Structure 1
Amino acid sequence: MSGYILFLAFVGFVHGQTRLGSYNLDSAISVSGLSSGSYMANQFHIAQSKKIIGAALFAGGPYYCAAGSLASATTTCMLFSNSINMNNLFSKAESYASSSLIDPLSNLQNDKVFIFSGTKDSVVAPGVVKKQEEFYRRYTNAENIKTVYDIVAQHGMPTDFYGGACGTTNLQYINNCNYNGAYEALNHIYGGLQKPSPGAALTGELILFDQSEFFKPTSPSTYGMDTAGYIYVPASCQSGAQCRLHIVFHGCLQAREKLSDKYARNTGYNQVADLNNFIILYPQAKSNMSNLNGCWDWWGFSSKDYANKNGHEMVGVERMMLRTLGQY
């Protein structure tokens, strides 16, 4: 490798959009997300629980909360936890499982789940997030669920090196809380991880890859998806070491079209990846006329099947996951 290319890899250079690659990955795949990304991570975990071993959910509510309604999404499932009928959500999940539209819910029993809500969150109320905990407690062993509800944080991804003041709103929705949310989440799921120093220099590449192929012959924008996404690959994983895959779902107003690569660079996942042999996949949603803020589909704008294996976004991300495994 030339000195120039080595330098670009060292600083985490983003090269031109390319084909998503395959890597030497083990089977321990996990997901996380913030806000609409939390809802999406939850949906993907529930639907793909044969492959996903754990989920980290920042500022999001329970599975199928919106029940196909934008009005419910923007009211009940963000602010009014007392209006959430959990029995309906349990019934929907169990109906989907019995129809094989999601994997058997029994797979969730031994999965690790991390749930975070800031005490000052004014976008998704802490009470709504606690309904997420209630959903998982029905299907997951209680000792495998870790909750963090005591940090004085506004709505956003908590880090220990980047973002706005922890307790105030900022338009990137990344909060410097002196708390490494990415590390705490991944360490709960996997255990025994090395913790990076705040904002540690990166050794790998943040790669911009083509998402279009995972939605062909339809344009990704039809389903609220960008034509490109990001994947972070540490130097060790580039060299053939066996690594683990973690999929990160951004929130509304945080996709590439709004923040470029700021979310993928500055939420702390890449530093954890470098020290612990993780590849981090950052699929990218995009705004369209049905989804003005570039959210993930957790209320049904792209399909009535948005929360099961047949949802367009769910299928696209599954294909990305399979590609990294060399199976698509």
Structure 2
Amino acid sequence: MANQFHVAHSGKVLGAAVFAGGPYYCAVGNMLTATNACMKFPSSISVSSLKVYTQTYQNTGVIDPLSNLARSRVYIFSGSADTVLVQGVAKKLQDYYASYITTSGAIKTVYDVAAEHGMPTDSYGGACAVQNNDYINNCNYNGAYEALNHIYGGLQKPSSGAAQTGQLILFDQSEYFSLAPAITYGMDTAGYVYVPTACKSGAKCRLHIAFHGCLQGREKVGDKFARYAGYNQVADLNNFVILYPQAKSNLTNLNGCWDWWGYSGLAYATKNGFQVTGVQRMMLRTQGQY
């Protein structure tokens, strides 16, 4: 979803950090493709075909101009012990981005951490190479910091296990979906936003959107991802507001995943997708523009 939102709104989004994810429009609207090729069989993924779909979306105006991607900075993490999404799929994402981003060093890849599927941290979660129900892994590796520092540069690194000094706020997501209730589009009625003390006191702060993984939304793990993924401590030191929108399971999405195969509608990977539109509205509200 981070990649999807980035490509759709590359005019507004500076870059993307993708933990265990595949290339844009990989599933081409098909759940079987999503759960097979896009997770287990990278040899079945044609990046050139996905670029044709991407170009068509640009030409029809449903994603931002692809020229925006040239200025982006992208971070890709795939654990060497990941049994859910194999590393070859993440490398297809690398190939996809490399087609548009040619600046040396703009794409950073991390493939050498022996992590299972999940968010790598330096102080919280289960054993790094063992899958756990929260999908947060204690790997002695601060993924949130490494990702944000690559995208933005020059950030202060929090100490391992640093306390969070800001405020994690539960907010109403339902107002960002006007045609039908949020659950119709696989969205929870509430999401989280983390606001550091400095930001709350009027400091100028940047905004980062953190998308949880499948089985990692509020309905499954409560606020664990929003509280323990590692972003908040980075935010405290570097004046970031962290927006944590929340997806939710429904009859066509039992694991509460973000829509990257079309369960919410045919336009799911574009600016017209219901989830993408809803999150964009949350982004604009956080920035005081909606």
Whether these two folds match at TM > 0.5 is: yes
TM-score class, shorter-chain normalisation, is over 0.9
| Residue ranges of structure 2 left out of the alignment (5+ in a row) | none
CA distance in 1, matches of 2:48, 2:12: 26
Taking structure 1 as the reference length, what is the TM-score of the superposition?
0.87
Q: Is 1:215–2:177 an aligned residue pair?
A: yes
Task: For 1:212, give the aligned amino acid.
Answer: S
Shift of 1:141: 2.1
CA distance in 2, matches of 1:283, 1:307: 17
Partner of 2:90: 129
Partner of 1:187: 149
| Residue ranges of structure 1 left out of the alignment (5+ in a row) | 1-39
Q: Is 1:109–2:70 an aligned residue pair?
A: yes
Q: Is 1:176–2:143 an aligned residue pair?
A: no
Shift of 1:87: 1.4
Q: How many residues align?
A: 289
Partner of 1:26: none
CA distance in 2, matches of 1:290, 1:173: 22
CA RMSD in angstroms comes to: 0.6
Identity %: 66
**Helix, strand or coil at the partner of 1:139:** coil
What is the correspondence of 1:42-191 to structure 2 with a 5 Å cutoff? 42-143=3-104, 144-191=106-153
Instruction: Give the conservation status (yes or no) of the 8 Å contact 2:70–2:103.
Output: no
Task: For 1:75, give the aligned amino acid.
Answer: N
> Which stretches of structure 1, 4 residues or more, deviate above 6 A after TM superposition?
none
Shift of 1:142: 4.3
CA distance in 1, matches of 2:147, 2:164: 20
Map Cα deviations across residues 270-296 of structure 1 (whole Å, 9 max, x no partner).
000000000000000000001000000
Shift of 1:125: 0.4
Taking structure 2 as the reference length, what is the TM-score of the superposition?
0.99
CA distance in 2, matches of 1:227, 1:164: 29
Q: Is 1:298–2:260 an aligned residue pair?
A: yes
CA distance in 2, matches of 1:304, 1:158: 32
Q: Is 1:227–2:189 an aligned residue pair?
A: yes
Instruction: Give the conservation status (yes or no) of the 8 Å contact 1:110–1:141.
Output: no
Q: Go from structure 1 to structure 2 and tell me whether the alpha carbon gap of 1:266 and 1:297 turns closer, same or farther (over 3 Å shift).
A: same
Instruction: Give the conservation status (yes or no) of the 8 Å contact 1:199–1:268.
Output: no
Higher relative contact order (CA 8 A, sep 6+): 1
